[in-house]
């Protein structure tokens, strides 16, 4: 996917990028490749693949949620190189984005990136998701919380749902639909105050790869004991 194909494909989905926004994505790509030589940010470094599998893929969340309607707050848990939150911030500049990542090197990259792209309203925290979710300043305060992670849904739910405000949404980005994973996570989601609102498949252009977005609405407060201590959700997932 060339930058121009990226722009056109998004336009067809109702997202029209300005020249300034296109320049921000170009700068993002350059910095990603530069920093990737010093530290492992991504295995994907070809321009066409970055635009498709990172930039476009991140923005598929806007196909299933109306981000253009009004300013929103979004927390990205374990953002890595800034996906999906930084592409969403570029496309929807009125948003307030909070990124929490456990690796300080990645936070250094994201700090440089935000400054280079001139992004305002990006807040970066070097922390474990479990600790961050117990912080009263952030707990149950975000319109949207997302994770583009490989962890199973019952683990992601414990890390993300405590940060979602009531009537807000946890958006889980999965590589593929898994009925088994959703069944496994149903009790955990309910225990944490959530309810599955919808599941949607999104197809990427060119490769026709499918992505799966699970939208979970927060219906009631998460019990204070969750998330549990760092490492526990992975070692002992809620059943």
DSSP 136: T
DSSP 150: S
Question: Which of the two residues, 81 and 64, has the higher pLDDT score?
Answer: 81
Q: What per-residue string of b and e applies to 195-229 under the rule 16 or more CB within 10 Å gives b?
A: ebeebeebebeeeeeebbbbbbbbeeebeeebbee
Enumerate residues 6+ apart whose C-beta is below 8 A from 11.
Answer: 17
Separation of CA 94 from chain center: 17
> pLDDT tens digits for 121-168?
999 999 999 999 999 999 999 999 999 877 899 999 999 999 999 999
Question: Which of the two residues, 46 and 178, has the higher pLDDT score?
Answer: 46
> pLDDT tens digits for 171-188?
999 887 778 889 999 999
CA angle, corner 54, sides to 147 and 71, nearest 5? 60
> pLDDT tens digits for 204-238?
999 999 989 999 999 999 999 999 999 999 999 99
* Cα 97 to Cα 112: distance, rounded to the nearest angstrom: 15
The mean per-residue pLDDT over the stretch 84-102 comes to 96
* Cα 191 to Cα 188: distance, rounded to the nearest angstrom: 5
Write out the binding residues for S-adenosyl-L-methionine: 78, 83, 129-130, 148
DSSP 127: S
Task: List, in order of start, the domains of the chain with CATH numbers.
Answer: 3-235 (3.40.50.150)
CA angle, corner 77, sides to 73 and 78, nearest 5? 140
Separation of CA 159 from chain center: 13
In terms of Cα–Cα distance, which of 39, 46, 44 is closest to 109? Answer: 39
pLDDT in the model for residue 222: 97
Enumerate residues 6+ apart whose C-beta is below 8 A from 143.
Answer: 72, 73, 74, 165, 168, 169
Give the other-Cβ count within 10 Å of 28's Cβ.
Answer: 23
DSSP-derived 3-state class of residue 144 = strand
**149: Cα within 13 Å, side-chain hemisphere:** 22
* Cα 39 to Cα 220: distance, rounded to the nearest angstrom: 40
DSSP-derived 3-state class of residue 193 = coil
pLDDT in the model for residue 128: 95
Write out the binding residues: 78, 83, 129-130, 148
DSSP 161: G
- 59 φψ region: left (φ > 0), alpha (ψ -120 to 50), beta (else): alpha
pLDDT in the model for residue 149: 74
pLDDT in the model for residue 132: 97
The mean per-residue pLDDT over the stretch 88-115 comes to 96
The mean per-residue pLDDT over the stretch 105-131 comes to 97
DSSP-derived 3-state class of residue 68 = coil
> pLDDT tens digits for 56-74?
999 999 998 888 778 999 9
């Amino acid at each position: 996917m060339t930058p121009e194909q990226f722009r056109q494909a998004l336009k067809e989905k109702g997202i029209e990028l300005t020249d300034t926004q296109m320049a921000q994505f170009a700068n993002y790509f350059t910095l990603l490749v530069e920093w990737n030589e010093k530290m492992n940010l991504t295995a994907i470094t070809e321009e066409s693949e970055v635009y498709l599998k990172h930039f476009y893929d991140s923005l598929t969340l806007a196909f299933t949620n109306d981000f253009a309607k009004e300013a929103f707050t979004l927390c990205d848990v374990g953002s890595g190189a800034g996906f999906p939150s930084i592409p969403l911030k570029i496309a929807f500049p009125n948003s307030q984005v909070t990124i929490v990542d456990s690796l300080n090197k990645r936070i250094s990259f994201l700090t440089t990136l935000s400054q280079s792209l001139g992004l305002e309203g990006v807040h970066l925290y070097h922390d474990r998701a479990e600790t961050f979710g117990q912080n009263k300043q952030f707990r149950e305060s975000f319109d949207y919380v997302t994770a583009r992670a490989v962890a199973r849904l019952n683990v992601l739910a414990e890390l993300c749902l405590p940060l979602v405000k009531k009537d807000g949404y946890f958006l889980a980005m999965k590589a593929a639909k898994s009925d088994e994973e959703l069944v496994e996570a149903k009790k955990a989601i309910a225990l944490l105050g959530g309810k599955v609102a919808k599941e949607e498949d999104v197809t990427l252009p060119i490769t026709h790869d499918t992505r799966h977005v699970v939208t979970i609405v927060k219906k009631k407060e998460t019990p204070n004991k969750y998330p549990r201590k760092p490492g526990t959700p992975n070692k002992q997932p809620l059943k």
